[in-house]
Amino acid sequence: MLRRTPHVLQALLQVIDPALAHATEGGDTFSPFDVVGHLIDGEETDWIPRAMLIRARDTAPFTPYDRFRHRERNRGRTLDSLLDEFARLRATNLELLHAWHLSEAELDLRGEHPTLGAVTLRQLLATWVAHDLGHIAQVARVMAKHYAKDVGPWREFLPVLKDRER
C-alpha cells in the first residue's frame, strides 16, 4: 500500500488547476497542496524516525508530529514539485524499511507515543498505511466539493459533498 500512494496522488493531482490544488473545506482544513506537504513531513520527521527509535529499543517519547510544519516549509513551491519530492522520499524510506527485514519479534517491539502511550512497531506501520489512505480520501473529497455548485440539483445525490461539513 505504501508504494501506491505517490502514484495515486500523481494521478489525481499532477498539473491540476491551482484553484483546485489550493481548495480547502474552510478554516484551517487542508488543501490538496497541504496534504502533500503534510505527507512529506511524515516521511521526514515521523514514520521512519519513530520506527528507528523503536528498533533501537529507545523508549524516549516520540517527537510529536508537527501538523503545520509544511506551511512554512513549502511556501512558494508548486504542487508538482511537492509530488515529485514526496515520491522520492517515500521510495527511499521504503528501501530502508525493506532492508531492515523486520522479524515478527521486532514488529512487536514497543515505543512510547507522547499522548497514546505504548505502541508497537506493527501498529506504527499499519497507521502509516491508514494515514495515507485517509489523506487520499481527503484529497478526493476536497476536490469533489470544489464542484459543489456546478452540479446543481444533483447535490442531494452526492453524499461526499456533505461529508465533514463544518
Q: Which stretch binds its own copies (CB under 8 A): 33-41, 81-89, 90-98, 111-119?
A: 111-119
Q: Does 2 bind its own copies (CB under 8 A)?
A: no
Other Cβ atoms closer than 10 A to 53: 20
Tell me which of 24, 29, 45, 123 binds its own copies, using CB under 8 A.
Answer: 123
Q: Does 136 bind its own copies (CB under 8 A)?
A: yes
Q: C-alpha dihedral over 45, 48, 52, 55, to 10 degrees?
A: 150
The grid coordinates listed for 137 are 480520501
Burial (Cβ within 10 Å: 0-12, 13-18, ≥19) of residue 102: middle
Task: Give the amino acid at 95.
Answer: E
Q: If you count them, how many residues does the chain have?
A: 166
Q: Which stretch binds its own copies (CB under 8 A): 37-45, 78-86, 91-99, 130-138?
A: 130-138
Q: Does 24 bind its own copies (CB under 8 A)?
A: no
Could you say which residues in the range 34-73 bind its own copies, by CB under 8 A?
none
Output the furthest CA–CA distance in the chain (Å, rounded): 57
Minimum CB distance to its own copies, residue 47 (Å): 12
Q: Does 161 bind its own copies (CB under 8 A)?
A: yes
Rounded CA gap, 32 and 10, in Å?
Answer: 11
Q: Does 153 bind its own copies (CB under 8 A)?
A: yes
Rounded CA gap, 81 and 99, in Å?
Answer: 27
Q: Which is nearer to its own copies, 77 or 155 (CB)?
A: 155
Place of cell 442531494: 156
Residues that bind its own copies (CB under 8 A): 1, 4, 7-8, 10-12, 113, 116-117, 119-120, 122-124, 126-127, 129-131, 133-134, 136-138, 140-141, 143-144, 147-148, 150-154, 156-161, 163-164
